[in-house]
C-alpha cells in the first residue's frame, strides 16, 4: 500500500464523509471507520486503531450536530465535538499523520447584510453545539501544527443514510408535498459537499499550508432561496413558503446570518451552479431506485 496517500475517515457515513470517499476514490486508499471499531471517546482505543491503520491523513467528519440534540446532551456534545478532536490532534503529533477537522459557520454571531465572516472574524458561540465546536477550533491548533481546521456552511450533497435539511426538502417535494416551509431570514453560504471534498484533495496534494480556512461555494442565500431554487431546478410544482426563523424554535439561542468567506483561498464555484449539478444527480439517483 502507498502510505503517502492513505486516508482514514471518521464520520464516513455522513454527507461530508460520503463526499470525501467519492472525491478521493482514485489514487488514494481511503477507509471509513465504523462505530464498532473504536470508542472515539477512548484515546487508548484510538491510538491502537491509528497505529494499526498507519494513515497519512485523518479526516474528522464525525459530529453531534443540531442545536436541540446538543442542548439535550451537552456532555455528549463535548465528548464528540471537542474532546475527540483534541485526542486526534494529540495523536497527530504522536503518530505523525495530518489531521483534517471540520467546523461550522454556526459559531459566529449575525453579521451585517451582504457581509461575510472570514478567518479573522471573532466567534461568539450561543449554544451547546457551537460551544463544543468552537472548543475544538481552539484546541487543535494549540496542540499540533499538522492540522487543517475547515469551517463550512450549510451543505447539500449525497448521503446514503438519513437525509438532512436540503435533501429532506427535496424528497418531500418529489413525493408530492404541495407546500414546503423554509426560513427566509437564515442566511448562509450554500455549499456542495462534493465541491468541498474536491478542494480539500487539492489542498493536500498541492501542499497548501495547514491552519484555519473557510471553505464554501461562492455567494449567499437564505434557506428559503436555497430550497426554492432547488425546487425550480427539479421542475416541481411544490410551493415554498417563506417564514421567519422564529417559526422553527430551538432549545438554544442561535445565529441566523452567518455566511462565510475566506481571506486565504478562492471560493468554490457559485452555489447556484453547484446546486444545479447536485439536483441532476439527486433526481437521477432517485429515479434509478427500484
Within 10 angstroms of residue 84's Cβ, the number of other Cβ atoms is 24
Per-residue burial over 21-54, b if 16 or more Cβ lie within 10 Å, else e, is bbbbeeebebebbeeeebebeebeebbebbeebe
Task: Write out the chain's pLDDT in tens, 290 residues.
Answer: 344 689 999 998 889 999 999 999 999 999 999 878 888 999 999 999 999 999 999 999 999 988 999 999 999 999 999 999 999 999 999 999 999 999 999 999 999 989 999 999 999 999 999 999 999 999 999 999 999 999 999 999 987 665 678 888 988 888 889 999 999 999 999 999 999 999 999 999 999 999 999 999 999 999 999 999 999 999 998 999 999 999 998 898 999 999 999 999 999 999 999 999 999 988 888 777 76
Burial class (CB in 10 A: 0-12, 13-18, 19+), 206: exposed
DSSP code for 232: H
User: What's the pLDDT score for residue 231?
Assistant: 94
Rounded CA-CA distance 98/89 in Å is 9
The three-state secondary structure class of 242 is strand
Beta pairing class for 187-188 and 221-222: antiparallel
Sign of CA dihedral 246, 127, 144, 62: negative
Q: Which domains does the chain have, with CATH numbers?
A: 3-287 (3.40.50.720)
Task: Using DSSP, state whether 96 is helix, strand or coil.
Answer: coil
Closest CA to 173 of 112, 115, 240: 240
3-state secondary structure of 56: coil
Decide: 275 and 190 in contact? Cβ < 8 Å: yes
pLDDT at 35: 79
Q: Is the dihedral of CA 41, 199, 186, 168 positive or negative?
A: negative
- The pLDDT score that the predictor gives to residue 3 is 43
Global pTM? 0.93
Q: What 3-state DSSP class applies to 215?
A: coil
Q: Are 256 and 106 in contact (CB under 8 A)?
A: no
pLDDT for 163 equals 66
What pLDDT, on the 0 to 100 scale, is given for residue 160? 65
Amino acid at each position: 500500500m502507498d502510505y503517502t496517500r492513505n486516508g482514514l475517515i471518521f464520520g464516513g457515513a455522513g454527507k461530508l464523509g460520503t463526499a470525501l470517499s467519492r472525491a478521493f476514490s482514485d489514487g488514494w486508499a481511503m477507509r471509513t471507520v465504523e462505530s464498532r471499531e473504536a470508542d472515539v471517546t477512548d484515546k487508548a482505543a484510538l491510538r491502537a486503531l491509528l497505529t494499526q491503520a498507519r494513515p497519512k491523513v485523518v479526516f474528522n467528519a464525525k459530529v453531534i450536530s443540531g442545536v436541540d440534540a446538543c442542548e439535550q446532551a451537552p456532555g455528549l456534545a463535548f465528548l464528540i465535538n471537542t474532546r475527540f478532536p483534541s485526542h486526534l490532534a494529540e495523536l497527530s503529533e504522536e503518530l505523525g499523520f495530518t489531521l483534517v477537522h471540520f467546523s461550522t459557520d454556526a459559531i459566529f454571531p449575525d453579521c451585517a447584510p451582504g457581509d461575510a465572516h472570514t478567518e479573522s472574524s471573532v466567534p461568539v458561540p450561543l449554544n451547546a453545539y457551537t460551544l463544543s465546536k468552537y472548543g475544538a477550533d481552539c484546541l487543535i491548533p494549540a496542540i499540533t501544527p499538522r492540522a487543517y481546521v475547515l469551517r463550512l456552511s450549510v451543505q447539500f450533497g449525497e448521503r446514503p443514510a438519513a437525509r438532512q435539511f436540503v435533501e429532506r426538502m427535496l424528497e418531500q417535494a418529489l413525493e408530492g408535498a404541495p407546500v414546503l416551509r423554509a426560513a427566509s431570514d437564515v442566511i448562509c453560504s450554500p455549499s456542495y459537499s462534493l465541491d468541498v471534498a474536491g478542494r480539500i484533495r487539492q489542498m493536500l496534494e498541492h501542499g497548501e499550508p495547514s491552519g484555519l480556512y473557510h471553505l464554501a461555494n461562492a455567494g449567499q442565500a437564505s434557506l428559503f432561496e436555497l430550497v426554492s431554487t432547488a425546487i425550480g431546478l427539479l421542475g416541481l410544482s411544490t410551493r415554498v413558503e417563506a417564514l421567519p426563523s422564529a417559526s422553527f424554535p430551538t432549545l438554544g439561542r442561535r445565529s441566523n446570518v452567518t455566511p462565510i468567506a475566506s481571506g486565504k483561498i478562492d471560493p468554490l464555484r457559485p452555489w447556484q451552479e453547484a446546486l444545479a449539478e447536485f439536483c441532476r444527480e439527486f433526481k437521477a439517483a432517485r429515479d434509478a431506485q427500484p
